[in-house]
Amino acid sequence: MRKEMFLFLETNKKVVSLLLLFCLFLVIVPMLNVFAQDETPMVGISNTEGYVGTILPVSVAIQNPRDIAGFQFDLIFDPAKLEAVLIADSDNPDIFVPKIDAGNLRGSISSNLASPGVIKVSAGGSQSITAAQAILCQIFFKPQTEGEIHMEITNLQLSNSYGEIVPSTVSSNGYITVLVNKTALTDAISNAFTLIGSKTVGAEIGNIPQAAHDAFEAAIDAAVLVNNDITAAQSAVNSQVELLDAAAAVFNNSVITEGRFSLSNLQITQPSTTELKATVDITRISGSQNAVVVFQLKDSSGAAVGIKTADITLPDGTENISVLFPGMSGTGYTVKAMVLDKLTNAADDAGHSLAAPLQ
């Protein structure tokens, strides 16, 4: 009886031991799988930010290299939004030299001319990457528009020092956040405030006419609105810089100098089906008798479509001045008249205003 009891207990012990081993197996195997997954090499694109037209580096990095000695992948981007800036190899203009920071690996970057927006990257070496993480390469881009521009890694393949393919995964596809650059507009606004504050409104020599002051002030206000608009596009910002610079030039040319004239009765008519006629009355108040009357024709959108000038000598009184714009017809046109002491093509000597502009 004792022997039978002994055999029964021994048999149960073996069963229990087997059950314990099986349970332990069920626990350990998933843990090993987790560890194996954690060690899978992961390749990702870094995110960066900058301005339209600036050159920005985009890094492709690897984590958990695990004896990686070679790699290749395609980087996909939108060529309408990004321009790849690559350094050409002198021996082969279709092959480009990347910046590779992964140990002693050497490789190449080539653009896919048949499929714009695809850059092929490959590299390899006799020794594997030893760091826990490394930058595989850097590619430089020049953004063409603002916003968030995404990039993607495809066809990723890694190999070890024996030339064997190593399972891998893409951890992240990066993007470039392209900001609107308002530096030039901010500077233009600052300069405009300084300029308008340096002139006194009045009718004396060295003063600025009230109309010219108000026009420049309105241009400054418009620029400030765009500068404060967080949704303003780069094109709108650039446009305001140009408009404010042009308004500053007109403001400077409106300063009253030694000669003084006044303009009135500005009209635009169509004497025939093939031309427009602009007329204005000019009166000399004081100073020089010689001046240049400038007529600027604008279409319905406000864009300048023609300029005509008339040299005058006006001793006293009022004179009616007229010019023709051949090839212009129809409605919707406006004209602006100005009086300058001279008219040249020199950027730094465009002439000074002798009267408040009339439009």
Question: Which range marks the domain in which residue 56 is found?
Answer: 42-179
Nearest to 208 by CA among 266, 263, 250: 250
Q: Please, what are the averages of pLDDT over each run of 10 residues along the chain (359 residues)?
A: 44 49 47 52 92 87 86 91 66 41 52 72 79 81 90 93 90 90 93 93 79 92 93 90 92 76 91 92 84 91 88 88 91 90 67 80
Question: Which CATH number goes with the domain that contains 120?
Answer: 2.60.40.680
Alpha carbon distances (Å) from 132 to 103, 128, 172, 263: 12, 12, 17, 78
Q: At what angle do helices 210-228 and 234-253 cross, to 10 degrees?
A: 160
pLDDT at 107: 56
pLDDT at 95: 36
Instruction: Tally the domains of the chain.
Output: 3
Non-local CB neighbours of 300 within 8 Å, separated by 6+ positions: 332, 333
Is there a single domain that holds both residue 174 and residue 195? no
CA distance 226 to 221: 9
pLDDT digits (tens, 9 = 90+) for 6-16: 344 445 555 44
Give a yes or no: residue 12 inside a domain: no
Is there a single domain that holds both residue 226 and residue 128? no
Q: What is the 3-state secondary structure (H, E, C) of 60-127?
A: EEEECCCCEEEEEEEEECCCCCEEEECCECCCCCCEECCECCCCCCEEEEEECCCCCCEEEEEEECCC
Is there a single domain that holds both residue 175 and residue 199? no
Non-local CB neighbours of 176 within 8 Å, separated by 6+ positions: 47, 48, 49, 50, 56, 58, 82, 141, 143, 148, 149, 151
Paired strand residues for 275: 272, 326
pLDDT digits (tens, 9 = 90+) for 225-276: 999 998 888 889 999 999 999 999 999 888 876 557 889 999 999 999 899 9
The residue among 135, 164, 179 that closes a domain is 179
